[in-house]
A and B are shown apart, each in its own frame.
Chain A
Amino acid sequence: MKRLFTWCCCLLAGLWVTAEPLHAQQITMEVQPTAIRLNETATLKLNFINLNPPQAPALPDLAGFRVQFVGQEQHFQFTNGRQERRLTFNYQLQPESTGVFQIGPFTLDMNGQKIDIPAVGLEVLPPSGGGADGQQQTLDDMIFARFSLPRNEFYLHERFAIEVSLYYRSLQLHREIQFQNLPSTGLNLENFEELSGGREVVNNEIFEVRRFRMQGVAIASGDVKLDPLLRVHVLVERQRQRDPFFGGFDDFFFGRHSTQPISVAIEPVDIAIRPLPAEGRPANFSGAVGRFNVDMSVQPAEVTAGEPVTLSLRITGIGNFENISMPPVDFGPEFRAYDPKLTSTGRDHKQFEQVFIPRSDRITEVPPAEFTYFNPEQGAYQTITRGPFPLVVKAGERGDLQLVQAPSATTATDRTPLGIDIIDVKRGITPARADPSTNADISPALHLSPLLALAGLMFLQHRRQSIQGDVSRQRRSEAPRSARRALKQAEEALASGNSAALHEAIWQALADYVAHRCNLKAGEVSPDLITGKCRAGGLSEAHREKLDLLLRACEEARFARMGDGESADIMKQRLDHARELLRAMEKVKLT
């Protein structure tokens, strides 16, 4: 912060030191406003620019006014490096009669030097007493607007200023205004700005005047009607009951005025846009329309053949700068010319630079540049020629051309010598057949395999977790296993020829299977329940018959001991039936 302050001080000091000395001593006089009523006052200002009077000068008697000195002001300003000091003496003018008055001219003697001060005008009207001629006033009497155009005919691509003056009296207007109904074709309006306002007398009434300016660009030939509306906001005093407690608070935040929008019609203007004349159009005309001036310079004026020279060309003036390009210069074969570059552009100027290289020492001058434009005020094409410029070219040491090195978004190479020779070759090699940018050494399928494995693992894990929370599903998955265990015991019984154990095991297989499938307790399963479930589940008729027979045999063997002495073939057949039935039951829905 301290450093910033120091820098600012240095900068200001530098500006003060480098500013050019006082110059252009001058005295001006102005009256504000230029129209008043008899019961109002105006201020006369005497401005001493770069002069230092010892005291306020005494004005001579002004007929029709009482004059009173009301103070002085002093201003300093820097403009383009030039310092200007302005000392202003203010006098109040109280009119004594109506009429149009001329104040001045005066001659002031400053240290023996006589300085003339031009006259200024002031109009004094009778005191305000209602409408003109005592009639009722309308809104149109109180506010209106007018166009001001340099002319009504323009040329294509011409730029011109359009001024709008808004006159109003006995009204207070909000700062914000809007233009509506602007033309959408033929004319392009841009760079809207408000100029300084003032007062004017219209129809013997004093009006406040606000002035606006915009730039019009004729973009298509034809007729255009300018018929916009000006939307303004009139300040209206609020009609409110003042709150004895919070009125001030309300006024503080919301103000004492509200705004009421009104539209002010402007007297329409017809504009004709004419095409640029084909007759007399020079071949090098590139579309510039307006009034221009051209400055051109060549630097350096003395070079060695092969060295670059810069041609600078600046076009200033009023016109369509967006259409202006660098005027061509016919360098010829003695020069190598590079493409011109636009170095600066603005609303009132465009600047180009072009680098060229003289090839030989025979060159004595740079060829001239010609800039052609259309002057709409004169309705004619005009050409400005600058040059030729003298150029001294000395013979170079090398006959060939010096090219401009590509500059540098590259970093400058370190020019310190790195060594006198390169490092020797490598003696060993690691053969690497694979293209370094590909995955040829490993199949893409192999890279996908962990993804697939992970997906499978997640699926299994999910299934396991879902089964863990569901008893019926757990028992459903347990059913085949329990049946297989019992059938294995049956096989052992068959091998040992133990019929009772065989039938017990077959019953166990069927009962456990059905209990798990139907999520039943072991004691709840009976032969009737098994056959009933199988019937309901849709087991085929043949299988149901086999099941009945098998269950009956098991009952008889288990409880009546009727199976003892059965042949091994019969026991094997029963075991096969049990397997077949369990397989069939696995395929039906038991609930």
Chain B
Amino acid sequence: MNMLFVLMLALCALMSPVLASEESEITALFVSANQAYDRGDYADALKGYLDVAARSPASSEAWYNAANAAFRDGATGEAVLYYRRAWFLSPRDADVLANFQLAIQRTGARVPSTSIIDSAATELSQQEWRNVFRSGYWLSFGLAIPLILVPAARRFIKPWLALSLLASGMGLAGWFYWQHGQARAESVVVGGRQVARYEPREQATEFFALPEGSIVQREEIFDQWAKVRAGDQSGWVPASAIQQVNTWK
């Protein structure tokens, strides 16, 4: 047992310089991209931010800055996509929300309607919901031990155990919403205005227009075409014309 503990300590000691060096590399890349942004070299800055985002996909700052660079570079559709990703990671970040609204306004696209459940679930990010779940989960076990061993304390422990179980359930539900809910299939129209068609072929009748930056729900993929839903209408657009917001899993 003692040996195992020593081994784990040794592994941590060996790994920490590696991790620290990777973090410093990411930070250096980020700073370098910021400098390019300040110089007005938005294409270079965007490349740098996307490089940072590839190494640190859960960093909302990388996606936010990438969105800013794309916006300055004229790629408004991509900017909406990256703002949306940043919002997925930091749903309460006011900067992200403001810039996202401005980008959407510039494209002429519409913001998807949200239900009460959507609003409640997006108060916290997926990672935050997961932390709520974990906290509730471990706290529940922490409280379950004295509940079993000390019968006299049960009366005092039970309400706290119920609360921690509730928190755990809410955390799991919030995490599930992000993982399998509406956000899962959300995509953004990039590369100019698109026209949704009735069928997945070039000659099919046109149905409705989708401005660049429109947020749609991807319903299915067929060949090189994607069926998307915007509001209460569904149509087919080239699969390359949309990019999924949540690409982490």
| A residues lining the B interface (CB < 8 Å) | 336-339, 403-415, 417-419, 421-439, 442, 447, 450-451, 453-454, 457-458, 461
Interface contact A418-B110, CB-CB below 8 Å: no
Q: What CA separation (Å) do A411 and B206 show in the bound complex?
A: 23
Which residues in A have their C-beta under 8 angstroms from that of B249?
435, 437-438
Q: What does DSSP make chain B's interface, helix, strand, loop or mixed? A: helix
Return the chain A residue nearest B142 by Cβ: A450
Interface contact A454-B58, CB-CB below 8 Å: no
Among A409, A415, A432, the one with the most B-chain Cβ atoms within 10 Å of its Cβ is: A432
Interface contact B65-A425, CB-CB below 8 Å: yes
Give the Cβ gap from B158 to chain A, nearest Cβ, in Å.
Answer: 16
Interface contact A406-B233, CB-CB below 8 Å: yes
Interface contact B102-A418, CB-CB below 8 Å: yes
Interface contact A410-B248, CB-CB below 8 Å: no
Q: What CA separation (Å) do A434 and B23 show in the bound complex?
A: 12
Given known A415-B105, A433-B58, A437-B249, contact A409–B37 (CB-CB < 8 A): no
Return the chain A residue nearest B130 by Cβ: A439
Binds A, one of B4-12, B93-101, B219-227: B93-101
Give the Cβ gap from B27 to chain A, nearest Cβ, in Å.
Answer: 6
Interface contact B110-A408, CB-CB below 8 Å: yes
Which residues in B have their C-beta under 8 angstroms from that of A458?
148
Question: From residue 53 to 108 of chain B, which have CB atoms closer than 8 A to chain A?
Answer: 55-59, 61-62, 64-65, 68-69, 71-72, 88-89, 95, 98-99, 101-105
Return the chain B residue nearest A424 by Cβ: B68
Which residues in B have their C-beta under 8 angstroms from that of A411?
110-113
Number of cross-chain contacts by CB at 8 Å = 151
In the complex, which of the residues A407, A418, A426 contacts B101, with contact meaning CB atoms closer than 8 Å?
A418
Which residues in B have their C-beta under 8 angstroms from that of A461?
148-149
Return the chain A residue nearest B23 by Cβ: A431
Given contacts A407-B232, A422-B99, A431-B22, 11 further A-B contacts (CB under 8 A): A406-B210, A411-B111, A411-B112, A418-B98, A424-B68, A425-B69, A428-B61, A430-B59, A436-B58, A436-B127, A447-B137
Q: What CA separation (Å) do A454 and B144 show in the bound complex?
A: 8
A-B contact pairs, 17 of them (CB 8 A): A404-B208, A406-B196, A406-B208, A410-B110, A413-B109, A413-B110, A426-B95, A429-B56, A431-B22, A435-B249, A436-B126, A437-B178, A437-B179, A437-B249, A438-B248, A457-B149, A458-B148
In the complex, which of the residues B55, B102, B178, B196 contacts A419, with contact meaning CB atoms closer than 8 Å?
B102
Which residues in A have their C-beta under 8 angstroms from that of B52?
429
B141 at the interface (CB under 8 A from A): yes
Interface contact B57-A435, CB-CB below 8 Å: yes
Interface contact B210-A423, CB-CB below 8 Å: no
Interface contact B61-A454, CB-CB below 8 Å: no
Kindly supply a per-residue 1/0 record for chain B positions 142-160, scoring 1 wherever the CB is within 8 Å of any chain A CB and 0 otherwise. 0011001100000000000
B205 at the interface (CB under 8 A from A): yes
B34 at the interface (CB under 8 A from A): yes
B30 at the interface (CB under 8 A from A): yes
Which residues in B have their C-beta under 8 angstroms from that of A435?
57-58, 248-249
Return the chain A residue nearest B55 by Cβ: A433
Among A430, A434, A447, A454, the one with the most B-chain Cβ atoms within 10 Å of its Cβ is: A430
Give the Cβ gap from B172 to chain A, nearest Cβ, in Å.
Answer: 12
Ordered nearest first, which 9 A-B pairs have the shortest CB separation?
Answer: A409-B231, A432-B58, A406-B208, A403-B209, A450-B141, A410-B110, A409-B232, A437-B249, A436-B58
Give the Cβ gap from B232 to chain A, nearest Cβ, in Å.
Answer: 4
Return the chain B residue nearest A417 by Cβ: B105
